[in-house]
Amino acid sequence: MASGQRIAVVGATGAVGQTTLKILEQRKFPIRELRAYASERSAGKTVTFAGEPITVRRLDAGSFKGIDIALFSAGSAQSREFAPIAVKAGAIVVDKSSAFRMDPDVPLVVPEINAGAARNHKGIVACPNCTTIVTVMPLKPIHDLGRLRRVVATSFQAVSGAGVNGVAELRDQTIAWSRGEPIKAKFFQHQIAFNLIPAGNFVEGGYTDEEIKLVNEIRKILEQPELLISPTTVRVPVFTAHSISVNAETETKISAADAREAFAHFPGIRLFDDPAHNRYPMPIIVEGQDDCFVGRIREDLSCPNALNFWVAGDQLRKGAALNGIQIAELLIGGR
C-alpha cells in the first residue's frame, strides 16, 4: 500500500464492509493507506486486507484527517452524523445508506447508468438501495430502446439484505426445523424459514418504505420523475442474492429478441435466458457474481408494448459494495 488513495471503510465489520474489503483487493484498487472503522463495540477487532490484519478503529470526529475517499457501509444515522465531518476534512464520501439518496444536491449513482452524475458531487455520492440497483440495471437498456412508460416490479429479497441478524434467523430456524424443535421469530415479523413475508415497515397507503425507496430511487437515477412504478417487496428464505420479476411497458414496442440483444450488450448485465435448457437466473447462480443476470424474457400477453423478465443479482456485491467501489473508481482523478 505504498501509493494510491487514502481510503476509509466505515462499517468494516459488517457484511457489506467485509465485501467491500474483498472487492477492493480483487479489483486492485490503488490504495496508499486503508483505515477500517466501526462502532465502539467493534473497535480493536481486526479485518483482513491483502493478507494483512487491519485493526478496526472507533469512528470519531478526527477519523477522516488525510482521507481521500470514505466508503460508508454503516447505517443512515452514522452517515448523517459523520459524512459531513468527512467532507469537511477533505474526503469524498461514497455512502451506501439511505441518508442522502433523495437529497437533490447528492447524486444517486449506478455507474453503468449515470456515471456522469458522480462528477457533479458536492462531497457526497449516494448508492441506491440494493433492490433498486438490481432492478434498474435492466430497465436502463429497455428505457433507451423504447422509453419506459410503466414498470411493475416484485422483488424476492434475500435475508442477508437485512444484515447479519437476518442470516442468523434463517439459519437458526432451519436448524430448529430439521431437529423438530419450535421455530421462533426474533428478527423478522414472522417465521422466515420455508416462508415468504410480503411486508416491511409500512407507511402511508399500505406500501412499505422499501417499496417507496424503489419508486423514488429509480425515478431519480433514470431522471424520469413521473415514471409510473408499481412495487411489491417480499422477503424470502434465501441467504444471498435478490431476484426481481419485472413487467416493463414502453412507448415503443420492443420485441423479446430486441430486448435480449440490448441486455447482451449492456455493461454489468449477463444475458442468461435459455429456458429450453433450464437456464435462467437463480440466486445460487448469481451469488458471488458482479453482473446482474437477466432471463425469462418474453412479451406480455396482456399488453402489446410490454415485456416480462426476471433479474437476479448479488445484493452484497453489485447491490452494495461493488457499486460503491465503482463510484470511487470514477472519482479517482476527477477530484
Higher pLDDT, 39 or 320: 320
> For 256-293, how does the pLDDT look when each residue is reduced to its tens digit (9 = 90+)?
999 999 999 999 999 999 999 999 999 999 999 999 99
User: Which residues are tagged catalytic?
Assistant: 130, 242
> For 23-38, how does the pLDDT look when each residue is reduced to its tens digit (9 = 90+)?
999 999 999 999 999 9
Q: What is the 3-state secondary structure (H, E, C) of the chain?
A: CCCCEEEEEECCCCHHHHHHHHHHHHCCCCEEEEEEEECHHHCCCEEEECCEEEEEEECCCCCCCCCCEEEECCCHHHHHHHHHHHHHCCCEEEECCCCCCCCCCCCECCHHHHHHHHCCCCCEEECCCHHHHHHHHHHHHHHHHHCEEEEEEEEEECHHHHCHHHHHHHHHHHHHHHCCCCCCCCCCCCCCCCCCECCCCECHHHCEHHHHHHHHHHHHHHCCCCCEEEEEEEECCCCCCEEEEEEEEECCCCCHHHHHHHHHCCCCEEECCEHHHCECCCHHHHCCCCCEEEEEEEECCCCCCEEEEEEEECCCHHHHHHHHHHHHHHHCCCC
> For 219-256, how does the pLDDT look when each residue is reduced to its tens digit (9 = 90+)?
999 999 999 999 999 999 999 999 999 999 999 999 99
> For 234-243, how does the pLDDT look when each residue is reduced to its tens digit (9 = 90+)?
999 999 999 9
How confident is the model at residue 40, as a pLDDT? 86
